[in-house]
Structure 1
Amino acid sequence: MLIHYTFPTKPVNKKQRFANKNDNQLYTTPPPPANINKNNYYYFFLSCQTLTVWLNFPSYTQKDEQMNAPFFRLSLLSLTLAAGFAHAAENNANVALDTVTVKGDRQGSKIRTNIVTLQQKDESTATDMRELLKEEPSIDFGGGNGTSQFLTLRGMGQNSVDIKVDNAYSDSQILYHQGRFIVDPALVKVVSVQKGAGSASAGIGATNGAIIAKTVDAQDLLKGLDKNWGVRLNSGFAGNNGVSYGASVFGKEGNFDGLFSYNRNDEKDYEAGKGFRNVNGGKTVPYSALDKRSYLAKIGTTFGDGDHRIVLSHMKDQHRGIRTVREEFAVGGENSRITIKRQAPAYRETTQSNTNLAYTGKDLGFVEKLDANAYVLEKKRYSADDKDNGYAGNVKGPNHTRIATRGMNFNFDSRLAEQTLLKYGINYRHQEIKPQAFLNSEFSIPIKEKKNGQEVDKPMEQQKKDRADEAIVRSYRLTNPTKTDTGAYIEAIHEIDGFTLTGGLRYDRFKVKTHDGKTVSSSSLNPSFGVIWQPREHWSFSASHNYAGRSPRLYDALQTHGKRGIISIADGTKAERARNTEIGFNYNDGTFAANGSYFRQTIKDALANPQNRHDSVAVREAVNAGYIKNHGYELGASYRTGGLTAKVGVSRSKPRFYDTHPKKLLSANPEFGAQTGRTWTASLAYRFKNPNLEIGWRGRYVQKATGSILAAGQKDRDGKLENVVRQGFGVNDVFANWKPLGKDTLNVNLSVNNVFDKFYYPHSQRWTNTLPGVGRDVRLGVNYKF
């Protein structure tokens, strides 16, 4: 659940804030003017004079050996520092307050959740989404680097959670052994979190929430500058053999504005915490090094007295490195199941690019506001050699796999009366998987099988059937798998006597074509209801009851070649349907604030693709395999006075998967979810006025988690029930942010993450043979805008 705010990008004095529900403006004065009716305002807290406290997630470790980074990267860090300090002596003026727009996420009545803004990002040393979102206890990331990381939101995995960037998103994955999200925080200005099943306006597939990001504009970076163009430099050093650097140029001329931003984060193998040893006896995690490169190009125009804006952008994120076949697994010894031979490290590039055309219009007659966009989103995997990778079809030499997504969204707002807002719109998305080649002509079934630990010939009757199955698979003429989702919604928001009421209805339809040419389609209607009650000043209570659907996922892109058999879809397969009921409260008197929520969710007709990916089976099908239940709570509190900020939060969820399919296709793999322990976050920070310096501490503590997300229990490869236990851990950080100019144009950031070098395994991943969290990491970062 979500109310999405964008806060100012300048430090301001701590004052009470009021968000007008009617004109969407945020006022940063003390009590509001006499002509403002207090009953029309929500109260919420934020003191931008003090950095909103960060919570801990693992970052990168400090290594004993000397870094071997190119000199010019550290030179950029020195240049950024020198340029800023030279300017500091003559530019220490007071910062004026800006009126700040409160931007809704088109979700109607929601409980407010955590937001990361451009200012907060600039005041931290975060270089990936795991670090950037460590303020949110309901979100957890696994160990490793890049796509080794699996994400969970309230314990639910990437099968039912999206990351949306400029309202572009895809639900297809390259391979179930790697995460499917790639976003460079350097290119975004705001990140928010939607939890649980979304309301009617939440978009396609909103069954378990989403992380929503918006890329930075030239207009955002021009704030605080007294000219129409500018340059922004950033550079950072991590004690874990990591360096980052980037530059942005931006400007505005007349009605037009433009931006080009480039960023690189070059990270070597990281060290885990104290006591960790890899298979070779070393301290680093093998094959965790990544060279991350990204850029964003944007051009926009604003016309019609500011009522119309068109933006064309292209963003590209790329990870380069030597990667293993199963990215989320550690490399084991010769007697382990995951040996170096089976992991077959090879050079790989994983790329995500998005071309987006967006339009925003206001005062269009009956339409008060229109947000529309059309996008082309591509995910690409390049491997230098997949000869030892069975998932990829054992292709010798270079291998390319692509997922192409094209989509459009049209979201309208119309005011029916002074107190009633009508939201309505349509969503469209088409996805296509493009393997390098179809290899079903090479499909074969072994003539031997294992019995009592020995290889023996199969019975002649079975061999005869296998030869017939081979003939069936080889006879197919395979085509690229595709899926099309379309949706339309209508949602009304009405305010009356201290209540905000929301009601909506969403229609969704999907059409899936698997690579064997089989087509299945279905449609569904999903209602949503919500209410916010503000009985008195500082207090609000909320409740919602939402339904949402999610269509069948296309099979892993890397395995659509057909060499291991045909992946089809069962007749009558329909979208899984989530029902989420949630209640919550918010309190804020300007100094003390508290919030909380309790949710209970059920997902019917839970979808699953075939899970026996290692076997050569003639034809397998995606099916509705069972149902899922989840429930939990979140609580948070903060205290702010002067330069002091203290925060504490806790999150707990308990997802359970009930498999009703004979072949038990619902899985405990992290793409489905993970049983994470109760997570506590706490922080304490103080910002001095002169110098403009904040110092602070943050902690993240995860309690032991027992049990599998599978209600029937989790079995090992021999069919025996496992005693699944994820050990608890606690990680502490210290951090500092210094503004030598007294304003946001120059930030010097220092952090020591995992101060006590704790060795631990995050919970949002497999519970055995997995990657550890990152040990102690000393980080220095600088960003300067001029």
Structure 2
Amino acid sequence: MPPLPLRSLVVLLPLAFNVYAEDIVQLPAVQAIAQTPSQDGTVERAQLKESQARDLHDMFKQDAEISVSGGSNPVAQKVYIRGMEESMLNVSIDGATQNNHLYHHQSTLVIDPALIKRVEIEKGTAAASAGPGALGGAIRVLTLDASDLLSEGQNTGALLSGGLMSNKGWKTGATVYGRFGSVDGLISASHLDLSDYQSGGGIDEINSGSKQRNLLIKLGANISESQRLSLSHQATEDKGTRYLRANMVGFKHPVLPNEAMPQSLLRNTTSLKYDGKDFGPISRIEATLYQSKVEGDRTNKAGEYSSESITTQGLDIGLKSAIGEHLLKYGVNLRKENSQTNQIRDPYQNTGSGKEESTVAGGYVEGLLDFGKVNVSAGLRYDRYDYTDNHNQNFKSNGFSPSAGVSWQVIDSLQLKAGYAKALRGVGLNEVFLLDMIAWANAPKIEAEKASNSEVGFVFTNKGFTLSGNLFQQNIDNFIDVDTCTANPDADCRMNVADVDIKGYELRSEYREGNLRIGLSIAESKSDRDGKPFSDGDQGLGTSYGRSWTTHAAYDIPTYSLQLGWQGRFVEALDYTPVASTTPMTKAGFGVNDLYVNWQPLKKDTLNLRFAVKNVFDQQYYDQATFAYHARLKKVLGHPEAGRDIRIEASYKF
């Protein structure tokens, strides 16, 4: 069970709900304006419910610029935006930054999509207000509040749900929520049980199952009509017997075999947020105090274990001041991170302490200028990093990151956009797993990583039709990885190893007419590291995959409270050079289709029945972001995606 025992909840919620004050007042939504013309987007709760999303693969399936590797085991899945891995992004849950440098063979962004209200995606080097170190963009996960579930005039409610999956799984969930005076709260818990799934054609994927428990607790209080305080706690626990490298199949190796073993991943995220408005010249204040801790454990047949944790604590304060039609945004970001391994193994003569610490302090200012048909933005942030590694070496980095953008409403139906952004990420925590057993040390001098992103784009709208697109070029200088030490050719060091370039484009279209909506997107990214595309061995940086197409269509039949939907994802074949080889090969292209039907038999959002068929034609395929062929081991190392999966789900709101 995720921490925060039930007895604490029983005491906490009645105390909160018994606080009486004036009727609740909802503060207006915060306006978010992107500072670059990238195809930034959102994934809304409605999409996740409609498609019976279960994991990251389902969450981002409609976005052609995003791929998710690792097969159908949630803990093995990693997100890639434009070919860049999630470790290059700023990832947060309810404003709490998530450090995903625990173990490079798994994800740390494991969460039940049923708890999510919205996912905000910022692609490419992010704007100044996105926080420090957003080299490749940002993913912001926002979880549900009581107000998202309460109907008009309702003060208390509950939601029960359950589902079955033909491809070896089931799920249950329960949520209670309420509003009493100025106080509101929510408790939601879910359990997901997955056995070893089958890939296309009925092939069993051994050691791919897991059991997952999720908990979300929310408390909110409106201090006045212009001030709100909210507390959020989200916990996820994932357990299962899987291979040491969860994103790879089993294999034998004289030194580093990929044997199966019990593993667990536990993440706890807590954030306290203050939201206020109208303080003289300050139009809006948002302040978030947070802590996130992620822990991983693995135990092999000999009883030897690896156990690591990262604790991230931070404070973000953002302010906005309206100046006529213009807006000034400014604020500070403070973050401290501690990592440690709970047992140092010594097969490689590890001399480190097993502990590291990093802090970053930054501030930013952005101006958003509205001149009618032309909008101009300009931002600047400054960050200072301080990092002490497991060999007691200290590294300091600092610098400025400017950004600017312009949009021009040429005519009512056409908008043109252009922008440029830079970001700096100082030397920070090494992957914690490597502190367990590897003698690699940081080189004596490491420069900060620096990213820049240039984009041009457009948006065309005409009645129910929308077409948008963009071209981008992104560069990262001083990428930090492990390579042969300059001072000692017989050893490996963590150091600046390469400069990186990514070029690409995306086109996105959608048409809405009455109860019908259909969409088509296409995206392609070309990467370059030292003259070669990203390879599957570039873990911690990214990988390469072919041109991607996504399609979707939905039709509502209001008379019967029925919705029919289809999602498709198609990726073209890609020529590449496998790890440990100089011989080019091809990652096979694929096309996969999903169908869904949603029905409200009572003709209101009380009883919901959902039916979905994932991978309708039982396609046997690998997502191209998944680790492919390894020449020395002579096999494909990654897991294929799940074959056909028929899902049935029912939920009832009281």
TM-score clears 0.5: yes
Q: CA deviation at 1:673?
A: 1.0
Counterpart contact for 2:168–2:194, Cα < 8 Å: yes
Report the equivalent of 1:178.
106
Counterpart contact for 1:670–1:764, Cα < 8 Å: no
Counterpart contact for 1:761–1:773, Cα < 8 Å: yes
Where 1:560 maps in the other structure, the secondary structure is: helix
Provide the rounded CA distance (Å) in 2 between the counterparts of 1:338 and 1:329. Answer: 17
Report the equivalent of 1:7.
none
Where 1:301 maps in the other structure, the secondary structure is: strand
Provide the rounded CA distance (Å) in 1 between the counterparts of 2:583 and 2:104. Answer: 21
Q: CA deviation at 1:387?
A: 6.0
Provide the rounded CA distance (Å) in 2 between the counterparts of 1:564 and 1:695. Answer: 53
Where 1:120 maps in the other structure, the secondary structure is: helix
Q: Where do residues 534-683 of structure 1 align in structure 2 (5 Å cutoff)?
A: 534-561=409-436, 563-565=437-439, 567-609=440-482, 620-658=492-530, 668-683=537-552
With over 3 angstroms needed to count, the CA separation of the structure-2 counterparts of 1:399 and 1:331, relative to structure 1, is closer
Q: CA deviation at 1:659?
A: 8.0
- Which structure dedicates a bigger proportion of its chain to strand? 2
Structure number with bigger Rg: 1
With over 3 angstroms needed to count, the CA separation of the structure-2 counterparts of 1:238 and 1:429, relative to structure 1, is same
Q: CA deviation at 1:573?
A: 1.4
Report the equivalent of 1:487.
362
Where 2:48 maps in the other structure, the secondary structure is: helix
| C-alpha RMSD over aligned residues | 2.6
Greater RCO, CA 8 A, separation 6+: 1
With over 3 angstroms needed to count, the CA separation of the structure-2 counterparts of 1:705 and 1:337, relative to structure 1, is farther
211, 217, 220: which is aligned to 1:300?
220
Q: Is residue 725 from structure 1 mapped to residue 601 from structure 2 by the alignment?
A: no
Report the equivalent of 1:329.
248
Q: Where do residues 128-527 of structure 1 align in structure 2 (5 Å cutoff)?
A: 128-142=55-69, 143-222=71-150, 224-274=151-201, 283-305=203-225, 307-332=226-251, 337=253, 342-383=257-298, 385-386=299-300, 396-397=303-304, 399-415=306-322, 417-439=323-345, 442=346, 478=353, 480-527=355-402
Aligned AA (1:422):
L
Counterpart contact for 1:150–1:671, Cα < 8 Å: no
Aligned AA (1:633):
Y
Report the equivalent of 2:611.
750
Where 2:57 maps in the other structure, the secondary structure is: helix
1:734-780, Cα deviation, whole Å (9 max, x unpaired): 11111223333432211111111000111112122211011101111
Report the equivalent of 1:463.
none
Provide the rounded CA distance (Å) in 1 between the counterparts of 2:567 and 2:466. Answer: 18
With over 3 angstroms needed to count, the CA separation of the structure-2 counterparts of 1:696 and 1:122, relative to structure 1, is closer
1:235-279, Cα deviation, whole Å (9 max, x unpaired): 1111112111101111111111111100111111111002x6xxx
Q: Which runs of 5+ in 1 are unaligned?
A: 1-98, 277-282, 389-395, 445-469, 709-713
Task: Give the structure-1-normalised TM-score.
Answer: 0.75
Q: CA deviation at 1:508?
A: 1.1
Aligned AA (2:499):
Y
Counterpart contact for 2:306–2:343, Cα < 8 Å: no
Aligned AA (1:743):
K
With over 3 angstroms needed to count, the CA separation of the structure-2 counterparts of 1:175 and 1:151, relative to structure 1, is same
Provide the rounded CA distance (Å) in 1 between the counterparts of 2:333 and 2:608. Answer: 40
With over 3 angstroms needed to count, the CA separation of the structure-2 counterparts of 1:490 and 1:670, relative to structure 1, is same
Q: Is residue 759 from structure 1 mapped to residue 620 from structure 2 by the alignment?
A: yes
With over 3 angstroms needed to count, the CA separation of the structure-2 counterparts of 1:434 and 1:159, relative to structure 1, is same
Name which of structure 1's ranges 245-254 and 103-112 shifts more when overlaid on structure 2: 103-112
Where 1:766 maps in the other structure, the secondary structure is: coil
Number of aligned residue pairs: 619
Provide the rounded CA distance (Å) in 2 between the counterparts of 1:618 and 1:435. Answer: 26
1:539-563, Cα deviation, whole Å (9 max, x unpaired): 21111100011233422212313x4
Q: CA deviation at 1:733?
A: 1.4
Q: CA deviation at 1:221?
A: 1.2
Where 1:159 maps in the other structure, the secondary structure is: helix
Aligned AA (1:401):
E
Q: Is residue 124 from structure 1 mapped to residue 51 from structure 2 by the alignment?
A: yes
Q: CA deviation at 1:435?
A: 1.2
Q: CA deviation at 1:313?
A: 1.6
Provide the rounded CA distance (Å) in 1 between the counterparts of 2:217 and 2:141. Answer: 16
Q: CA deviation at 1:100?
A: 12
Provide the rounded CA distance (Å) in 1 between the counterparts of 2:347 and 2:550. Answer: 51
Aligned AA (2:355):
N
Counterpart contact for 2:96–2:270, Cα < 8 Å: no
Aligned AA (2:621):
Y
Counterpart contact for 1:231–1:248, Cα < 8 Å: yes
Counterpart contact for 1:361–1:371, Cα < 8 Å: yes
Counterpart contact for 2:39–2:506, Cα < 8 Å: no
Q: CA deviation at 1:218?
A: 1.0
Q: Which runs of 5+ in 2 are unaligned?
A: 1-25, 630-635
Aligned AA (1:291):
K
Where 1:342 maps in the other structure, the secondary structure is: coil
Provide the rounded CA distance (Å) in 2 between the counterparts of 1:527 and 1:148. Answer: 35
With over 3 angstroms needed to count, the CA separation of the structure-2 counterparts of 1:666 and 1:736, relative to structure 1, is closer
Provide the rounded CA distance (Å) in 2 between the counterparts of 1:313 and 1:101. Answer: 19
1:81-103, Cα deviation, whole Å (9 max, x unpaired): xxxxxxxxxxxxxxxxxx99664
Provide the rounded CA distance (Å) in 1 between the counterparts of 2:90 and 2:647. Answer: 30
Report the equivalent of 2:633.
none
Where 2:232 maps in the other structure, the secondary structure is: strand
1:569-600, Cα deviation, whole Å (9 max, x unpaired): 22331221111011111122331111111111
Where 1:343 maps in the other structure, the secondary structure is: coil
Q: CA deviation at 1:375?
A: 0.8
Counterpart contact for 1:196–1:580, Cα < 8 Å: yes
Provide the rounded CA distance (Å) in 1 between the counterparts of 2:559 and 2:100. Answer: 51
Counterpart contact for 2:50–2:596, Cα < 8 Å: no
Q: Where do residues 47-126 of structure 1 align in structure 2 (5 Å cutoff)?
A: 103-105=30-32, 107-108=34-35, 110-111=37-38, 113-126=40-53
Counterpart contact for 1:158–1:180, Cα < 8 Å: no
Percent of aligned positions with the same letter in both sequences? 29
